[in-house]
A and B are shown apart, each in its own frame.
Chain A
């Protein structure tokens, strides 16, 4: 017996001794954080994170290969603890939530009868699936089998439904889904996502420069979830009140319903929910990721700057906006007249964005009140230049600087600033764009008796929004088409008295596809006026680049825009990004908003030390070919909900808002007209019935 004890003791001692010597001899320095991180993990070695056991996962976290939230079993608290150990951006400790693009509904037609194995992945291998439509859910439930937490079930419509309470965001469902139907993302990842070629994107959503998930918010309106709709829009566009009023909605021209019927009134629905939030008197909370400690200066408080600041703030960065004018808002504050976008509405919207914790300084003009050097000295890590396009083009004709002669944006911003601009009795506005229409409609309201538009092409070629042209016609504006101004004639006191123009006729189409106007010799005509506004376009004012050496390397294009990579919006100086009109030249508000988010995503990449580049399968300013149809069967024509507006007689007396909002009944009626493209695989015969 004693022998046995001694032998076991001996073996034990030998083993212990060898191990302790070995641990000394073979000592390898190991980051002490690995042990600490492992302590916070579940210790179940379940492999749910994708690493072989908890220690492997801990090593991956410490090496920065896995986020602090890698462990799929523990709760958010331990992810926060791990983030604290690592001292990293706890932004990645945000909850991951699986969400589903598919809405359910009727099925698209079958391509063939499938009798293979019961798996989406196998079905996908056969010509991409058995449905006519190749993007939708296949419905065989690979995601359900993959979910270890029972969080997914096939819903009543045959599509997976995620139980958010059970979902831990492990990503298993996303990995097995061959169709990108289920996506597991944190809020930051959702904000940073751009359209990709294999996303299930409705044509409207592909067209929107801000990439708003239009079918989703319309279906939320249909279900009465107005708050959800506002949140959906806010993930892509922080200026929904403004866009809901002034956006020329390029999305509606691609609406699939418009192939057979009038398009869905997408923008009116956006305005409906946005107004509902404003009129409710309480702001919906906007979540932001935890602070990252990075600081960004945004130069320009217009739509691009506000959008960029908003998205950077939501990603957890610290943002300061510098605005040259006395009020925030840029061109939508000063260039868009009150009757289209009331200043009260804009102010409420901007306040909501600044409330996220964005610092702002007004009356600060780059190159005058501060310069780039001072921003760098203040410790900003990146800079966004969204200075807009405020320099009006000159006509370059004689007499342009006579008294009573104005420039478009200059005139509009002076009116918007509350300045009393002397208004003539007979006023002419030269130009065919939205600014020109804004000028004439403003002039009518400010008391001009006769207002003309002088445009060198015809109505068909006018770049202004159709609705704006129609409104101007209703308000009694007179249009002089095919007229090219030659000179402005003044009296002895230097006041404008006449505009001399040449008549034109249309010739061959030019590069833009519009027929080039050709002058008719000897057709000089005089037009009696006492006020003239030229609104023929603007360029960015980039004079600030001349004022400091640091900006010498900032490349400027020949259109005076800041040269940039159109997808990442990074300028020729790596830490300077741009967006909005100063990047693209004068364009839509919604383009500036989309650009603001694009720049925010690039700045986020730049600050995280990642290469600044667009996603691999980026779908930028392109459409997915197969999603653009020639015809849609089974759509029964239903008129779109008519937008209420002020009577012409009433509206030309004041600057009151002309367009009114849809009421709830009409909004729901309109939302039902949406075909929910790419949210449900529809059977064309059944649309006819449901209508």
Chain B
């Protein structure tokens, strides 16, 4: 019994410590924003934007396409039983732009880029490269975290818009082939019912998710200890924690928008 309580206390203490470290890291990164406007940091940032976009493009497109198709298939089936299949457009568009697009993109980027950031920085930590930077008086926050945070904050909304577009495209194909809803009817219904607020909340969510992915990945990377096992553990933790945060933050942002 005592051991169990001790383990719980240890877990809670460690979680609080990691959360505090992550929040301080985020604040320090924001305070370092002026350092972004140097040629070297800009170059780093643009390289990362290019790498991140290219690295997640295909998987996002495939997942978004099939998510839109599944959404249309299921939604269309229910609506068809009520003779309302012409409403597929609005349902798919609103859910892809407001919820599914940001959420799905965040999960894809967490798995592909968030874990990668944790593993990359974690490897640098265990191979003493972070110590080397500190000895050279190069801030790891400025040199490593800032470009990654900015790159992900910019890439996530772009990939979210892309995912939403591809998802809607996939849904329109299913709507046309399976339920006889023409492209014109589908897009008219979608555009007439989609509000600017839906786009805004989708973009706000994607920016928050991008910041979350970069911060958690960097935090876990910088807290890595103990060789290859530690690096693997850091990547795993980054994915699990980001998934949880994306779901929780997603809920509260939706609640805030709807209220």
The yes or no verdict on A and B being binding partners is: no
